[in-house]
Amino acid sequence: MLIVPEGYRQRLSVRETEKAIKFVKDAFQKNLVRNFGFERVSAPLFVLSGTGVNDDLNGVERPVAFDIASLGGAQAEIVHSLAKWKRLALKRYGFRSGEGIYTDMNAIRREDRCDNQHSIYVDQWDWEMVISREQRNVEFLKMAVTRIVAAIVNTLADTKAHFPSIDLVLKKKVTFVTAQEALDRYPELAPHERERALAKEYGTVFLMGIGGALSDGKPHDGRAPDYDDWTLNGDIIFYDEVLDDSIELSSMGVRVDASTLRRQLEIAGANDRVSYEYHRQVLSGELPLTIGGGIGQSRLCMLLLQKAHIGEVQVGLWDADSRLKCERAGINLL
């Protein structure tokens, strides 16, 4: 549902916004590399169908698929994310423990709803880092979250220095809350409303443990069973004053090892996936242990530039009614 903030005003013109979008993206990449030492790599827009490499999200979303004439009609599909591909790339390129990669990921998620924060076009920085067995723990996960949040807050400071009309304030301190704790605290609220309540109270939150069933028998949110360890993952969430709502900038986590993969596939009723090459390599221990995630590029720009709609920082397709309401409210959809 479209949110039209009362009294919304543009802090930047369309041309200034375009300049600011580039600035934010350039600055964030520098801050991310400074905090982690990641190397940039090239990434695919599409992968072959039936290999298990594409992100299955909640297991029901249909990828955009097409056949390739030069490969004898082989089927390919636009990526949903690079959650699994990155782990394969780390092995193939010979990265070692403590080393990592990041890349620009562009995707189409045809099933996604379109509203202030969502569109069917996804652009994010995907990153992945090789870790040791000893680093598969909550403390290491929290360390990675803290560094990413620091990169975001530092990028905001850089942006405000170049665009003085931006007056956003973000909290660098992260409050860590498990999905079960959120349910216990707000049993009467739906999952997104719990996120909004936490973000409004704390400003910057990492909501941990997403994918597995909680005490009410339901997961906080869907997660594919074959990349994140549901006990060692979560979402980085900020409070968005413009929309008076929470905004998720990153989904991330420690990746599954062999035992976690078996358990989560069993829970999800997806044991058929063990026949895929990617899953066989995880089960056999051929792939490195990793931590990784995605950081939304357009959402970061939307938050830092104090925009009311993601269409103000990316070109998308919107229904006629939303376009009309945005025009009347001074929301400039690109």
- DSSP letters spanning 247-316: EEEEEEEEEP-HHHHHHHHHHHT-GGGGGSHHHHHHHHT-SPPEEEEEEEHHHHHHHHTT-S-GGGTS--
- Residues 16-39: what's their mean pLDDT? 96
Residue 53 domain flag:
yes
What sign has the CA pseudo-torsion 62, 66, 71, 74?
A: positive
313 in a structural domain: no
**In degrees rounded to 5, what are phi and psi of residue 13?**
-70, 175
Query: Would you state the torsion angle of the CA atoms of residues 197, 201, 203, 205, taken in this order, to the nearest 10 degrees?
Result: -60
| Percent of the chain surpassing pLDDT 70 | 99
Residue whose entry in the numeric block shows the structure tokens 């909640």? 58
Task: Tell me the whole-structure pTM to 2 decimals.
Answer: 0.93
Q: pLDDT, tens digit, for every residue of 141-164?
A: 999 999 999 999 999 999 999 999
35 domain-assigned: yes
**Which CATH number goes with the domain that contains 134?**
3.30.930.10
- Provide, rounded to the nearest whole percent, the portion of the chain with pLDDT above 90: 75
What average pLDDT does the segment 78-90 reach?
Answer: 90
Quick check: 97 pLDDT over 70? yes
Residue 311 lies in a domain: no
Catalytic residue positions, numbered: 55, 109, 124, 235, 248, 251
- The pLDDT value given to residue 52: 77
69: domain range? 14-110+125-295
At residue 54, the pLDDT reads 80
CA dihedral 157, 163, 167, 170 (to 10 degrees): -30
**Is 73 part of any domain?**
yes
Q: Is residue 89 part of a domain?
A: yes
Q: Is residue 273 part of a domain?
A: yes
Q: Which residue has the tokens 């008076």?
A: 244
> What's the number of domains the chain is made of?
1
Q: 223 near 209, Cβ under 8 Å?
A: no
Q: What is the pLDDT of residue 219?
A: 95
Q: Report residue 161 as tokens.
A: 């220095």
Please choose, from the candidates 54, 261, 242, 32, the residue with its C-alpha nearest in 3D space to the C-alpha of residue 158.
32
> What is the helix, strand, coil percentage profile of the chain, to 5?
35, 20, 40
pLDDT above 80 (res 56) = no
Q: What is the dihedral of CA 93, 44, 32, 182, to 10 degrees?
A: -110
pLDDT confidence tier of residue 209, bands split at 50, 70 and 90: very high
The verdict on residue 281 lying in a domain is yes
Q: What is the pLDDT of residues 285-304, one digit of tens each?
A: 999 999 999 999 999 999 99
